[in-house]
Structures are given as C-alpha cells and as structure tokens.
C-alpha cells in the first residue's frame, strides 16, 4: 500500500515537472519581494521570470524567439503589457490584445526596467482636445481604414487580424501608431506629426460614440452599404414576383 502511495505521489510530482519541461511555455512568475524594493529591481525579476526565455536574460533578444528590447524605451513595453499582448504564449504567433496578466505596479516595474536598458521613447501623453475630428477622419481614411475600417470594426488581413478599435484609449492609439505592432506599419512623426496624431485620436474617440441619424445603423458604415442593402432586398422581392408570375402563367 505504501509503495502504491509513493508511486502516486511521485507521478503527481513528476507530471507538472514534465509539463513544465518546455522552456518557453510557462506560467506567470510573480516574485515575492520585500515592500520598498525599487521598481527597476522588481521589474528585472519579473522580466527574468516571464520574458527572458524569449527576449534574453538582458533583453538582448534571442534569434527565432523574441527581438531585442534594448532601446525600445518605455513606450513599447507599456503598450504590449497594458493591452495584454505580452508575454506571448509561444514565438511565431500574432500577439493579440487581451486582459493584462500583470497589475499596474508590476507593469510600471517591468516598463521601468526595460526603459533603463537604453535610450528610447517615453510613454506618450496625447491630447485629443487639441485635434480636429474632421482632419482626424481624413487621416484615418488615408492611413488606417484599409485595415481597421472607417467605423473601427477591424478586419482580417493576410496572416493576421486588425483588431476593432472601439474600446481603445488615446494612449493606446498613440503608442500603436508609433510602434506599428506586428503587421501594422510604423508611422513616425515625419509621416504623422504629433498634432495630426491628436486629430487622429480625436476622430477615434468620436467614432467610438457614433450618433445614428435615421435609417439602420448597419455597423455605422454609411449610406453606400445602406443603398446596397436596399437593392439586395428589392432585387430579392423582384425575383420573387417574377417567380410568382411565372407560376401563374404556367398553370
Ligand atoms: C514566447 C516568447 C515571448 C515571451 C515569453 C515574451 N515575448 Fe515579447 N515578443 C516576442 C516576440 C516574438 C515579439 C515580436 C512580436 C511581433 O512579431 O510583433 C515580441 C515583442 C515584444 C515587444 C515589442 C518590441 C518592439 O520592438 O516593439 C515588447 C516591448 C515585448 N515583447 C515585451 C515583452 C515582455 C515585457 C515580456 C514579459 C512580460 C515578453 N515580451 C514576453 C516573444 C515573447
Ligand atoms: C496594414 C494594416 C494596418 C494599418 C494600415 C493600421 N493598422 Fe493598426 N493594427 C493592425 C494590426 C494587425 C494590429 C494588431 C497588432 C498585433 O496583433 O500585434 C493593429 C493594432 C492597432 C491598435 C491596438 C489595438 C488594441 O486593441 O490593442 C491600435 C490602437 C491601432 N492598430 C491603430 C491604428 C491606427 C490609428 C492606424 C492608422 C494611423 C492603424 N492602426 C493602421 C493593422 C493595421
């Protein structure tokens, strides 16, 4: 009986070990640090436990697993952590927005640690009140709607997904535009100035709360699809009438 129990215990202990054998896929590691530990130090420990397997012990990058984070500043880790893109489950898949796995203190700590590794851009502080919604709409139509759609609904791309933007915050938009995550292009300030970025964000804010003036909302895509739908319904009705008339003539 004792032998059986020992065996069961050994299996129970070994199973998680075997599951954890893959060096990349692992759970979230939260170190226990004394209160008052400087953020950068906590950040380094969180990084060692959750990021180093792909980005390297000193964030220098590991070919085939994760890029170097030296010089990305505070901007990129803030974006990737606050929107739950990182830690990635395994290399090679598209990082997707989800619930962040770290709390605010932990995120600040990791961001401070990564930012301490090299000179890089800070977390932006956009001011949509300075922007113009109409200029923003034009900029969005030119640069963003091809993937995210003018009504922010998002869409499928070859090899990825452009997420819907109806819940995003101003900082998130400012960060995404400057980073260009995954398949999204990077827009440096030479292409979209800080002033234009304010307008772009003002438009995104406005479009998140559309006012439907009459007609069907149809996903807020405007009068052209509404016309198309009318035509579709009308032509279906016409076909039905033709079929009916045809039957009458035959009988
Ligand atoms: C399973 C591997 C993996 C893990 C674990 C992981 N990353 Fe990443 N990370 C990647 C890959 C791959 C990319 C590049 C994604 C892409 O193609 O856009 C990336 C990109 C990033 C970027 C953007 C870099 C840039 O140049 O814009 C940041 C910032 C980042 N990761 C931070 C982190 C942090 C912080 C953690 C730990 C909490 C973490 N990552 C955990 C694989 C990983
Ligand atoms: C070529 C297609 C493409 C274009 C053009 C593009 N995006 Fe994106 N965008 C993406 C993809 C793909 C992602 C998701 C990235 C990922 O999964 O890592 C994304 C992510 C984002 C996010 C983050 C959403 C979230 O929930 O975290 C924001 C905000 C964003 N884009 C805004 C913009 C704005 C503003 C523009 C125009 C200046 C723009 N995008 C242009 C493809 C695009």
Atom of ligand 2 nearest to the CA of 139: 38
* Residue with CA nearest ligand 1 atom 42: 66
Model confidence pLDDT, tens digit, residues 214-229: 555 555 555 555 666 6
Q: Note the pLDDT of residue 209.
A: 84
Could you read off the pLDDT of 93-120 as tens digits, one per residue? Answer: 999 989 999 999 999 999 999 999 999 9
The whole-number average pLDDT for the span 134-145 is 97
**Terminal C-alpha separation, the chain:** 86
Tokens of 143: 């640069």
In the numeric block, the tokens 């803030």 are attached to 78
Pocket test for ligand 2, best of 67, 81, 124, 148 (most atoms within 8 A of CB): 148
Let me know: does 124 contact 175? Beta carbons within 8 Å.
Answer: yes
Q: Exposed, middle or buried, 215 (CB in 10 Å: 0-12/13-18/19+)?
A: exposed
Pocket lined around ligand 1, Cβ cut-off 6 Å? 24, 50-51, 53-55, 65-67, 69, 72, 76-77, 80-81, 86-88, 90-91, 95, 110, 179, 181-182
The answer to whether residues 206 and 151 touch, using CB atoms and an 8 Å cutoff, is no
Read off the pLDDT of residues 10-40 as tens digits, 9 standing for 90 and up: 444 444 444 433 445 457 899 988 989 999 9
Task: Please tell me the distance between residue 164's alpha carbon and the centre of ligand 2 in angstroms.
Answer: 9
Structure tokens at 43: 């950040």
Residue nearest to atom 23 of ligand 2 (CA): 176
∠ CA 35-39-40, rounded to 5°: 135
Give Rg (Cα) of the chain: 26
- Size of the chain, expressed as the number of residues it contains: 251
Q: Distance, CA 116 to ligand 1 centroid (Å)? A: 17
Ligand 2, CB within 6 Å, residue ranges: 83, 85, 94-97, 143-144, 146-148, 157, 160, 162-163, 165, 168, 172-173, 176-177, 181-185, 187, 200
- pLDDT beyond 90 at 1: no
CA distance 83 to 87: 11
Contacts by 79-83, CB closer than 8 A, 24 or more apart? 79/172, 79/175, 79/176, 79/179, 79/181, 80/181, 81/107, 81/110, 81/111, 82/107, 82/172, 83/172
What pLDDT, in 10s, does the model give residues 50-62? 999 999 999 999 9
* Cis bond upstream, residue 87 (ω within 30): yes
Q: What is the atom index within ligand 2 of the atom nearest the CA of 175?
A: 29
Q: Over the stretch 163-211, which tens digit does the pLDDT of each residue have?
A: 999 999 999 999 999 999 999 999 999 999 999 999 999 999 999 987 6
């Amino acid at each position: 009986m004792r032998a059986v129990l020992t065996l069961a215990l050994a299996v129970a202990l070994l199973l998680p070990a075997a599951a954890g054998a893959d060096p990349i896929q692992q759970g979230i590691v939260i170190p226990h640090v004394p209160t008052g530990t400087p953020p950068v130090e906590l950040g380094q420990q969180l990084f060692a436990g959750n990021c180093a397997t792909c980005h390297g012990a000193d964030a220098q990058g590991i070919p085939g697993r994760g890029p170097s984070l030296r010089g990305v500043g505070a901007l990129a880790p803030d974006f990737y952590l606050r929107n739950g893109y990182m830690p990635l489950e395994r290399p090679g898949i598209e990082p997707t927005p989800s619930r962040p796995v770290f709390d605010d203190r932990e995120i600040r700590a990791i961001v401070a640690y990564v930012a301490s590794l090299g000179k890089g851009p800070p977390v932006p502080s956009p001011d949509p009140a300075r922007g113009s919604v109409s200029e923003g709409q034009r900029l969005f139509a030119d640069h963003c709607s091809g993937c995210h759609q003018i009504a922010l609904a998002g869409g499928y791309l070859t090899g990825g997904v452009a997420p819907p933007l109806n819940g995003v915050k101003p900082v998130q938009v400012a960060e995404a535009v400057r980073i260009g995550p995954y398949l999204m292009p990077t827009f440096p300030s030479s292409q979209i100035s800080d002033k234009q970025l304010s307008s772009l964000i003002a438009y995104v804010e406005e479009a998140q709360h559309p006012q439907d003036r009459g007609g069907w909302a149809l996903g807020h895509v405007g009068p052209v699809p509404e016309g198309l739908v009318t035509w579709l319904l009308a032509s279906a009705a016409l076909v039905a009438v033709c079929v009916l008339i045809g039957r009458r003539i035959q009988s």
